[in-house]
Chains A and B, each alone.
Chain A
Amino acid sequence: MGRIAGPLDDVAGDAGHIGHPPRMGFFTDTSVCIGCKACEVACKEWNAIPEDGLTFTGMSYDNTQGLGADTWRHVAFIEQRKPLGLQDPGVEHGSYDAYDGVDVLGMASEAAARGGDGDRGELRWLMASDVCKHCTHAACLDVCPTGSLFRTEYGTVVVQEDICNGCGYCVPACPYGVIDQREDDGRVWKCTMCYDRISDGREPACAKACPTDSIQYGPLDELRERAAARVEQLHDAGVDDARLYGDDPGDGVGGDGAFFLLLDEPEAYGLPPDPVVTTRDLPSMWRHAGVAALTLLGGMAAAYAAGRRR
């Protein structure tokens, strides 16, 4: 039995794998996501995931709504009013302003109407491709009573669909709201980090399809280094909002196998700000339950003792 909380260097080894490959993961850099949803589509295609409703939500360009049994990659769209700096076209024109006369969707005039000191770009459009975090301490895996969920040699978390009996326990256990039950099927489904592809030395379908390298796949150690450098780069460029999410092995889930670079608070993206694996508290839960059971025995004994006197 592995550790249930805290930093853990060798997840796969902790789960009993010997001579395993390095832990693989995703670094999703949302700052370069263009919201094309290629990842969503590639995932659906590769994994033959059924259609799950064609709805119009009014939530910006997001009609997928969230991760679920039939959505293993989900691109979030967030529209914000936020005074931004200008994009640099990378060309010097002297006194000539390349932005003059540009009126895309009335944004420029709107910016002008809002006053400002010539700053344009009042609208900020955040896009982020969400996915299962393949937690170091995965609550879904911990609570699964059948052993259907398991830790692979790559340190990822995968459901064995031939074993899952659809008890649904993993669903409310996941602190990120990732895994869900497919209604007509009864079993639960989520991202496998393309177990079939990575076992064959290929990168996951979503990462492969991503045209901007917003989704980067690789050994987790390497990704963490790359992410740290990227945040620094953004901070140097004046993007002070840039932060990493899920990269810290000291966090409540022991760090995510799939972590992110965000440009706003996690809540804005529908992510929990400080998730903790529920099983961290399990020893204490069992202790409390034990004391409660003894209290029940004691109370009943007292009822009999009192009953005799009457």
Chain B
Amino acid sequence: MSEAEVTREGSLGQRPGREASPGSEGGRRRRRGGRRGERAMVPDAEFRSYYGRPIIKAPTWAATDIAGYLFLGGLAGASSVLAFGAEVTGRPALARAAKAGALGAISLSTAALIHDLGRPERFVNMLRVAKPTSPMSMGSWILVAYGPAAGLAAVTDATGLFRRIGRAATGWTALTGPAVVSYTSVLIADTAVPAWHEAYRELPFVFAGSGAAAAAGLGLVAAPVRETAPARGAAVFGAVLDVAATRLLERRLGPIAEPYRTGRGGRLMRAAQALTVAGAAGAAVFAGRSRAAAALCGGALLAGSACTRFGIFEAGRASAEDPRYTVMVQRGRREPSG
């Protein structure tokens, strides 16, 4: 019966819990034949699920918005570091291009983030609280710390006004830029999505490498050859870090990394690697000689970085949609042999 007196302090009085025992052999037979209930008949060998339905919910995020956000955030943050270096080493054209790139990318990425909200007009609610347990909250504050300074750095450079303030802003963006690049990896890793969460150790490095490669790509496209030597170095550094961290990720995750190798995610990741490696190699060998070659390599690096982020995004989605990955991770944890 469902009668229970429930007060603010809880329910009073014990409910007579139902005592049926479906599937048991019942008292009469048990007395005769002992315990013959439904013990596991066959050990569960194969993977089981509820009609193949996912266990967790895949992100509701749109790829263009959020994978785009990851890419543009990486481009912006790393560009700021590149800009600061260019400024202090006397490479004004590279500095200007990188600052403008950083501002454009961070503006677009913020727009993408807001566009993806179910209630964009409530974006400011992100700044209601500062929650260390929420990478998105921390990220919003990082954007607040970084974005306006990136604007200041680009505008003062373009107009030639307030140079001292501009220099300080550039320095500040070079410090906060790397946080913009790497925090986005925490953003996606701090979910129940197997391909993201399990990769939380490597993803920040993939993102750092991919961001550096993108910023280098932008520098190669936009700055004259005589100033792009550091961008070429950054391209090589970024590509090596990106590819190495991705390899490590795939090796450590084993079967959980399958979505990075198969399907849409796999195709994007392969394209990313080809573009990034070709772009960096080209940058190292040819980009010092001709502007056209530099632009081509820069374009490849930018495209490679974008493919990396979209590939990671798709891999995560695929791993969330197939309950196998969720079970694999959790069973593997419980039974180390699996």
The reply to whether the CB of B148 lies closer than 8 angstroms to some CB of chain A is no
Contact count band on B: 35 or more
State A293–B181 Cα separation when bound (angstroms): 7
Q: Which of B51-59, B161-169, B297-305 contacts A (4 or more CB under 8 A)?
A: B51-59
Chain B residues with CB below 8 A from A241, complex form: 23, 38-40
Could you tell me if A272 and B55 are in contact, using CB atoms closer than 8 angstroms? yes
A145-B126, A173-B192 are contacts. A65–B237 as well, Cβ < 8 Å?
A: no
**B331 contacts which of A273, A300, A303 (Cβ < 8 Å)?**
A273
Could you tell me if A212 and B18 are in contact, using CB atoms closer than 8 angstroms? yes
B126 (CB) vs chain A CBs: closest residue = A145
Chain A residues with CB below 8 A from B191, complex form: 139, 143, 169, 172-173, 278
Contact with A along B136-155 (1 / 0, CB 8 A): 11011000000000000000
Contact count band on A: 35 or more
The reply to whether the CB of B268 lies closer than 8 angstroms to some CB of chain A is no
Q: How many A-B residue pairs have CB under 8 A?
A: 376
Could you tell me if A143 and B190 are in contact, using CB atoms closer than 8 angstroms? yes
Could you tell me if A145 and B137 are in contact, using CB atoms closer than 8 angstroms? yes
Closest CB of chain A to B55's CB: distance in Å?
Answer: 5
Q: Which of B104-112, B207-215, B250-258, B259-267 contacts A (4 or more CB under 8 A)?
A: B207-215
State A92–B212 Cα separation when bound (angstroms): 80
Could you tell me if A293 and B28 are in contact, using CB atoms closer than 8 angstroms? no
Could you tell me if A165 and B122 are in contact, using CB atoms closer than 8 angstroms? yes
A145-B140, A187-B118, A238-B35 are contacts. A292–B205 as well, Cβ < 8 Å?
A: yes
Could you tell me if B6 and A167 are in contact, using CB atoms closer than 8 angstroms? no
A233-B21, A274-B334 are contacts. A84–B38 as well, Cβ < 8 Å?
A: yes
Could you tell me if B81 and A145 are in contact, using CB atoms closer than 8 angstroms? no
State A66–B200 Cα separation when bound (angstroms): 29
Closest CB of chain A to B207's CB: distance in Å?
Answer: 7
Could you tell me if B25 and A86 are in contact, using CB atoms closer than 8 angstroms? yes
A217-B6, A281-B200 are contacts. A181–B26 as well, Cβ < 8 Å?
A: no
A282-B133, A293-B208, A296-B211 are contacts. A66–B53 as well, Cβ < 8 Å?
A: yes
The reply to whether the CB of B24 lies closer than 8 angstroms to some CB of chain A is yes
Contact with A along B76-88 (1 / 0, CB 8 A): 0110011001000
The reply to whether the CB of A83 lies closer than 8 angstroms to some CB of chain B is yes
Contact residues of A between 253 and 278, Cβ < 8 Å to B:
263, 265, 267-276, 278
A273 (CB) vs chain B CBs: closest residue = B330
A213 (CB) vs chain B CBs: closest residue = B18
Could you tell me if A168 and B190 are in contact, using CB atoms closer than 8 angstroms? no
Could you tell me if B233 and A168 are in contact, using CB atoms closer than 8 angstroms? no
The reply to whether the CB of B170 lies closer than 8 angstroms to some CB of chain A is no
Chain B residues with CB below 8 A from A301, complex form: 85
State A76–B257 Cα separation when bound (angstroms): 30
A residues near B (Cβ < 8 Å) are 1, 4, 21-22, 24, 29, 31-32, 57, 59, 62, 65-66, 68, 76, 78, 82-88, 92, 121, 124, 139, 142-148, 163-169, 171-181, 185-188, 198-199, 201-203, 207-208, 210-214, 216-219, 222, 226, 230, 233-234, 237-241, 263, 265, 267-276, 278-279, 281-282, 284-286, 288-297, 299-304, 306-308, 310
Q: List 6 A-B contacts (CB under 8 A).
A: A85-B26, A86-B26, A211-B2, A238-B37, A268-B49, A303-B232
B residues near A (Cβ < 8 Å) are 1-2, 4, 6-11, 14-30, 35-41, 44, 47-51, 53-61, 77-78, 81-82, 85, 89, 116-120, 122-123, 125-126, 128-129, 131-137, 139-140, 174, 178-179, 181-183, 185-186, 189-193, 197, 200-201, 203-205, 207-208, 211-212, 216, 229-234, 236-238, 241, 288, 316, 320, 323, 326-327, 330-331, 333-334
